[in-house]
Amino acid sequence: MKSVAFFNNKGGVGKTTFTYHLGYALEKLGKRILFVDLDPQCNLTAHLCDEDTINDAWSTDGNSIYKAIAPIVTGAGDMQTINPYKVPNRNIWAFIGDLLLSDFDGELSNAWTQVLAGQERGFRVTSSIYRLINEFAEQNNIDYILIDLGPNLGALNRAILLGCDNFIIPMIPDLFSLRGSQNLGRVFADWISNYENAKQRIGNLNFATPNGKPVFSGYVLQQFNVYRTRKTKAYQNWGGQIPTYIQEFVINPLTAVDPNLSLTLANFQVAEFKNYHSLVPMAQESLKPIFELTNQDGVIGAHYQYVDNCRNEFGDIANYLSSII
């Protein structure tokens, strides 16, 4: 079992769309998938399940991921176990997102202060979502936990990233995306070393805690808005600079803390996600990945070529990623 987070502190870079498609492609390889939607915007959830399911999950006795940590936010107690949503007829489960998740950020900030002060409660709160998802994954023989995160370096993302085995950065080849990645490695490196020190101080605890060693496993080159702009040359230019940026601003700070915090891959690019134009909203509407769309979903004529291309591309991506992670 491996947990993989998809993270970029810039929004709109295709994290959610890529994560969703990768999960379905890995399932087609025979893997059991657990999605976790930890972006309060809940886009992954909206791609996975219909509105009735979401309404139920958000109702008083529903099963959104917020319900699991609500007792901590209200001060009533520890994390409570909930069952994720299961996609019908598939080996795919999902902890449904919740707008209220942002309420947990303040609690997690306090908990982090307690972690650094070596207090058990801090570890208990910080590890709560980690414990929830890992317990379910272990009991249900999940192969991949795929975690979608919001675009910020806040306390929730810190708590989750410290508990992941691997993380992948979806990138758009533009100036903002590259600039956005400049503080990422340095911030992660601080989290990792502070957490490591705190863990050593506290010693053994009677509950599971994040390992604190998320391994950088490459970036995904998102090309989908290349043609929306006329600056195709500039995009090529920025795209060519990504490996240098990744080396300098992600890998160097991380491996300075621990040489094992990065996989050694040529150029660090693990996938390329092309522009699928109108098939993306069609896939969202149909609650299916692009590569499973049919004429009943609205696919006509030349679209079929794209559907087939997408199937081949994600087949290759899933094969490759499952060979390195």
Ligand X SMILES: Nc1ncnc2c1ncn2[C@@H]1O[C@H](COP(=O)(O)OP(=O)(O)O)[C@@H](O)[C@H]1O
Contacting residues toward ligand X, per CB under 6 A: 11-17, 43, 224, 273, 275-277, 280
Among 8-16, 155-163, 249-257, 270-278, the segment contacting Mg ion (CB under 5 A): 8-16
User: Quick check: 177 binds Mg ion (CB under 5 A)?
Assistant: no
DSSP 288-311: S-GGG--GGGT--TTHHHHHHHHH
How far, rounded to the nearest angstrom, does the alpha carbon of residue 169 sit from its chain's CA centroid?
A: 9
Partner that binds at residue 17, options ligand X, Mg ion, none, CB closer than 5 to 8 Å by kind: ligand X
Residue 268 near residue 219 (C-beta atoms within 8 A): yes
User: Quick check: 222 binds Mg ion (CB under 5 A)?
Assistant: no
Shortest approach of Mg ion to residue 148 CB, angstroms?
A: 6
Shortest approach of ligand X to residue 102 CB, angstroms?
A: 16
Tokens of 39: 């972006």
Distance CA 76, CA 98 (A): 19
Shortest approach of ligand X to residue 311 CB, angstroms?
A: 14
Pairing of strands 144-149, 33-38: parallel
Tokens of 223: 């090309």
Whose Cβ is closer to ligand X: residue 18's or residue 245's?
A: 18
Partner that binds at residue 245, options Mg ion, ligand X, none, CB closer than 5 to 8 Å by kind: none
Whose Cβ is closer to ligand X: residue 11's or residue 106's?
A: 11
Sheet with 33-38, strands from edge to edge, namely 85-86, 92-95, 33-38, 144-149, 2-6, 166-171, 215-222, 269-273
Shortest approach of Mg ion to residue 287 CB, angstroms?
A: 16
Q: What are residue 85's phi and psi, to 5 degrees?
A: -70, 145
Shortest approach of ligand X to residue 80 CB, angstroms?
A: 28
Shortest approach of ligand X to residue 27 CB, angstroms?
A: 19
Whose Cβ is closer to Mg ion: residue 43's or residue 262's?
A: 43
User: Quick check: 8 binds Mg ion (CB under 5 A)?
Assistant: no
Whose Cβ is closer to Mg ion: residue 40's or residue 118's?
A: 40
Shortest approach of ligand X to residue 37 CB, angstroms?
A: 11
Distance CA 193, CA 143 (A): 28
3-state helix, strand, coil split of the chain in percent (to 5) is 55, 15, 30
Tokens of 200: 């050593």
Q: Measuring CA to CA, how many Å separate 213 from each of 138, 163, 166, 209, 293?
A: 19, 7, 8, 12, 38
Partner that binds at residue 240, options ligand X, Mg ion, none, CB closer than 5 to 8 Å by kind: none
Whose Cβ is closer to Mg ion: residue 43's or residue 181's?
A: 43
User: Quick check: 16 binds Mg ion (CB under 5 A)?
Assistant: yes
Partner that binds at residue 106, options ligand X, Mg ion, none, CB closer than 5 to 8 Å by kind: none
Distance CA 61, CA 82 (A): 10
Say if residue 103 is exposed, middle or buried (CB neighbours under 10 Å; 0-12, 13-18, 19+): middle
Among 7-15, 53-61, 117-125, 201-209, the segment contacting Mg ion (CB under 5 A): 7-15
Tokens of 111: 């908990």
Shortest approach of ligand X to residue 281 CB, angstroms?
A: 6
Among 8, 9, 19, 43, binds Mg ion (CB under 5 A): 43
**Residues contributing to the site for Mg ion (CB under 5 A):** 15-16, 43
